[in-house]
Amino acid sequence: MLNIGNEKVSLCSGLTRRSFLQVGVAGMAGMWLPDLMKLEAQGSVDGSRARIKNCITIFLVGSPGHLDTWDLKPQAPSEVRGKYNPIRTNVNGIQICEHFPLMARKMDKIALIRSLHHRTGATHENGQRWMMTGHDFNADAVKPHTGSVISRVFGPKSELPANVILPGPIGNTGAGNFHGQTAGYIGSAHEPFFLGADPAAPNFRVGDLEVPAGMSASRLDARRELLGQLDQLQRRTESRTTQTHDSSYDRAFRLLTSQRARDAFDLNLEPARLRDRYGRNTFGQSCLMARRLIEGGVRYVTVNHFDTVFGQTCWDMHADGGGLNNTYLDYERHLCPQFDWAFTALLDDLEQKGLLQETVVAVLSEFGRTPRLNGRGGRDHYPNAWTNFLAGGNIRGGQVIGSTDRIGSRPHDNPIEPPQVLASIYHGMGINLDTTTMPGPGERPIRLVEAEPIRQLF
C-alpha cells in the first residue's frame, strides 16, 4: 500500500477509480504491445481469426440454486425439486425456471453448461477464484483474474483500461480476501480498474473522472512528474517480468483528459428508455455501462451482482433467519426478475449495436446449491454440480452441455470444471493455450490455465 497525500493506494488488491487516476496504471502503455506482437509472431495469438474480441462476465455473487433456476428437476421428490415450475424456451427440449420468461425467448443464443463442478471446499471464495482465475488458490502465487490475463496478452484498445470491474470489488463473502479479482503475479499494470461508484446513484457523475476544478495545467504536469517518480519506486518493487517497459503515466492522464473515455462512463448519454430497459438499479445500470465500455474499447468487463452475501438480498439462499436470510421470495420478486430484465437487455443491446458477435457474455457463479432443501426451506453451498452459461461471440447457442443426475447432485455426463470455461474464452479470443505462457512467480513460464476449451461450445 502506498500513501499519496491522504490517499491510500492499493497495489495488490485492485485499483480504485481514484487511485487509478492518481497513481496511473504503472506504465500501461509499455507492456502489451511487445507481448502481443511477440505472441502473434510465434503463432500463439491470432487476433485476426478470433471472433471473440471482448468479454463481459456477469458474476452472480452468492450463487443461484441450479435446481431453482437453470436445471430444474420437475420429476424429483418435493424436497429436491423446490418451488418453481419449468417453462419452455424458444429451443425445443430446453426448459428453465418460470421466473426467467425473457431469457427463455433467447435460449437460441445461449449455451447452458449444466455439469459444472469443482473439487475444493464449499466456500464462496474458492468458487470465485476458480471462476475468476481458472486456478485453485495458492497464497504464494496469487493467480491473475481472467481480465488481467487478457490485458496482459492484448493490451488496451483505447484510452480506457483493458480490464474493468463494475461496480466494485467483491467484499466480505465469509472466508477471506482472495476473490480472484486482482492481477496477481502478472503485476500491477494489469490490475482491474474498479469503478468504485454506483452507476444507479442519482448523483453518479462522470465528473469524477474529470480534472478537479481549479487544477491548472502546470499543477497537472507537476502531479504527472510526481507520479512518474512513484512509478519508478513501484517498478523497483516488482520483479523484472512484471515491470513495464516505460514509466509512462500517459494513459492515466489520457483517461483523465479524454472526452471519449469520460463519455464511456456517462450513462446520461443513453436514452432514458434504454436505461429503463436495463433496470434502474445498480446491477442493471452496471450492465449498461459494461456495454458502453466495450463499445469504448474495454476488452474485458466483469459485473459483480452484489459485493457481499451478508445482510442484503443476494443469491445465497440459506434462509437462515439471520444474516443469510435469502429465500424463495427474494428469488421470485427480486433476483430472478432483475437478472432476467438486465441480461436480456444486454443481449439485445449488444446485438443492436453490432457487438454481440464479437463479445462473449459469460454468466458465472461460485457453485450450485444443495439438492435437498434445508430445514428452513433454503439451500446451502454445493460445489458438486451447478449451471452457468455463455452467449454471444462464436458461442453456439441453443444447446445444453452436460447434465446432472435425477436430483442434480452430480454431473451425469460431460462433467465440466471452471478452468475449461475460461480456457474456452481464451480460445475464442484466438489464444493458443499450448503455446501462450505467462511469466509466473520467479519468472517461470506457466500456462494461462490447465484445461482444454469446451469444443462443443463453438
Partner 1 sequence: MEQRYEGTPQAAIRLEGRRLIRSDVTNDWGLRLQWEVRRNGQVVATINARPDVAYEHSDTAPGEYSVVLQMWHYINYAKNPAGEFTASRFDNISNVVTYRI
Residue window 102-141: x/- pattern of binding to partner 1, with contact defined by CB under 8 A:
x---------------------------------------
All cell numbers assigned to 132: 475468476
Selected binder of partner 1 within 5, 202, 271, 375 (CB under 8 A): 202
Contact 229, 275 (CB under 8 A): no
Would you count residue 273 as binding partner 1 (CB under 8 A)? yes
Site for partner 1 in 234-253 (CB under 8 A): none
Select from 119, 260, 333, 396 the one that contacts partner 1 (CB under 8 A).
333
* 325: contact with partner 1 by CB under 8 A: yes
How many other C-beta atoms are found inside a 10 Å radius of the C-beta of residue 83? 15
89 binds partner 1 (CB under 8 A): no
d(CA 115, CA 385): 6
Q: Does 285 participate in binding partner 1 (rule CB under 8 A)?
A: yes
Sole binder of partner 1 in the list 74, 207, 321, 445 (CB under 8 A): 321
Q: Residue 196 CB, nearest distance to partner 1 (Å)?
A: 9
Among 47, 86, 101, 441, binds partner 1 (CB under 8 A): 101
Is residue 167 involved in binding partner 1 (CB under 8 A)? yes
For residue 86, report the phi and psi dihedrals to the nearest 5 degrees. Answer: -80, 150
Strand ranges inside 104-154, DSSP E: 110-116
- Segment 375 to 434, residues that bind partner 1, using CB under 8 A: 377
Q: Which stretch binds partner 1 (CB under 8 A): 88-96, 147-155, 242-250, 333-341?
A: 333-341
| Nearest distance from C-beta of residue 327 to partner 1, angstroms | 6
How far, in Å, are 174, 219, 328, 356 from residue 234 at the CA level? Answer: 31, 22, 49, 38
Segment near partner 1 (CB under 8 A); pick from 110-118, 235-243, 254-262, 327-335: 327-335
d(CA 64, CA 45): 35
Strand-pairing partners, residue 3, are 8
Number of chain positions touching partner 1 (CB under 8 A): 43
Considering only CA atoms, give the Rg of the chain: 21
Query: E strands of 328-448, at which residues?
Result: 359-364, 368-369, 381-382, 386-392, 399-401, 403-404, 411-413, 437-439, 445-447
**Does residue 312 touch partner 1 according to CB under 8 A?**
yes
Q: Is 208 in the site for partner 1 (CB under 8 A)?
A: no
- Torsion angle in degrees (nearest 10) through CA of 241, 246, 252, 254: -140
| Minimum CB distance to partner 1, residue 273 (Å) | 7
Residue nearer to partner 1 on the CB measure, 341 or 426: 341
Q: Give the residue, chosen from 144, 161, 279, 428, that forms a contact with partner 1 under the rule CB under 8 A.
A: 279
Segment interacting with partner 1 (CB under 8 A) among 50-58, 200-208, 213-221, 223-231: 200-208
Among 57, 133, 327, 420, binds partner 1 (CB under 8 A): 327
Residue among 35 and 340 whose Cβ is closer to partner 1: 340
Residue 142 to residue 144: CA distance in whole angstroms = 7
Binding segment for partner 1 (CB under 8 A), chosen from 231-239, 306-314, 358-366, 446-454, is 306-314
Q: Provide, rounded to whole angstroms, the least separation between the CB of residue 208 and partner 1.
A: 15
Residues 333 and 89: beta-carbon distance below 8 Å? no
Sign, CA torsion 88/277/54/306: negative
Q: Which is nearer to partner 1, 33 or 201 (CB)?
A: 201
174 sits near partner 1 (criterion: CB under 8 A) = no
Q: Minimum CB separation from partner 1 for residue 297, in Å?
A: 25
Pairing of strands 403-404, 411-413: antiparallel
Contacts of 401 (CB under 8 A, 6+ apart): 111, 112, 113, 114, 115, 414, 416, 454, 456, 457
334 near partner 1, rule: CB under 8 A:
yes
How far apart, in Å, are the Cα atoms of 242 and each of 35, 238, 438? 12, 6, 10
Distance between CA atoms of residues 100 and 338, nearest Å: 10
Burial environment of residue 3 by CB neighbours within 10 A (0 to 12, 13 to 18, 19 or more): exposed
Examine residue 277 and tell whether it contacts partner 1 (CB under 8 A): yes
Measured from the CB atom, the residue of 27 and 168 that comes closer to partner 1 is 168
Binding site for partner 1 (CB under 8 A): 98-99, 101-102, 167-168, 198, 200-202, 272-273, 276-285, 306-307, 311-313, 319, 321, 325-327, 329-330, 332-334, 337-338, 340-342, 377
